[in-house]
């Protein structure tokens, strides 16, 4: 499991100081960017050198508790499944000892030249496999 912590800033909240849900998506994307960087695939070289993107094809969020301005958000990312071109991630975001939201998320490796799916590069597949949580089922055909 990969973990990343970031503060919930004033600009991430509505006027009452409660996290604005679109901000959560931006912060979640930042945590995923940190995850890929930790795997040896920072976003800029992935885009410029590998000519590869990782767009979201599905994202299911469940909000449990509000986040507040000043909270330290703790993002936990688990690799739930790896397909030929897809990657399933489970996210848990917490603060103050409480889970704020969870998400199940599917990304797909795509060629930035053809705009179609492509297999994960071997080095990235190996790094992702190292983080695979074995208690989840995944359809390896995708």
Active site residues: 14
Distance, in Å, from the CA atom of 18 to the CA atom of 66, rounded to the nearest integer, reads 6
Distance, in Å, from the CA atom of 76 to the CA atom of 141, rounded to the nearest integer, reads 26
> Is residue 99 classed as helix, strand or coil in its secondary structure?
strand
Residue 87 pairs in a beta bridge with 82, 107
Q: Which helix (H) or strand (E) holds 1?
A: none
DSSP assignment string, 11-53: GGB-TTSBBPHHHHHHHHHHHHHHHHHHTT--HHHHHHTS-EE
């Amino acid at each position: 499991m990969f973990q990343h912590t970031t503060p919930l800033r004033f600009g991430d909240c509505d006027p009452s100081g409660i996290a604005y849900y679109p901000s959560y998506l931006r912060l979640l994307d930042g945590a995923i960017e940190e995850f890929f960087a930790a795997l040896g695939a920072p976003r800029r070289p992935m885009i410029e050198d590998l000519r590869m993107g990782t767009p979201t094809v599905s994202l299911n969020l469940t909000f449990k508790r509000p986040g507040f301005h000043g909270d330290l958000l703790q993002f936990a990312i688990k690799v739930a499944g790896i397909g030929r071109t897809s990657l399933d991630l489970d996210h848990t975001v917490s603060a103050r000892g409480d889970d704020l939201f969870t998400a199940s998320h599917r990304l797909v490796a795509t060629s930035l030249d053809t705009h179609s799916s492509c297999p994960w590069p071997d080095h990235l597949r190996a790094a992702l496999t190292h983080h695979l949580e074995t208690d989840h089922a995944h359809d390896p055909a995708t």
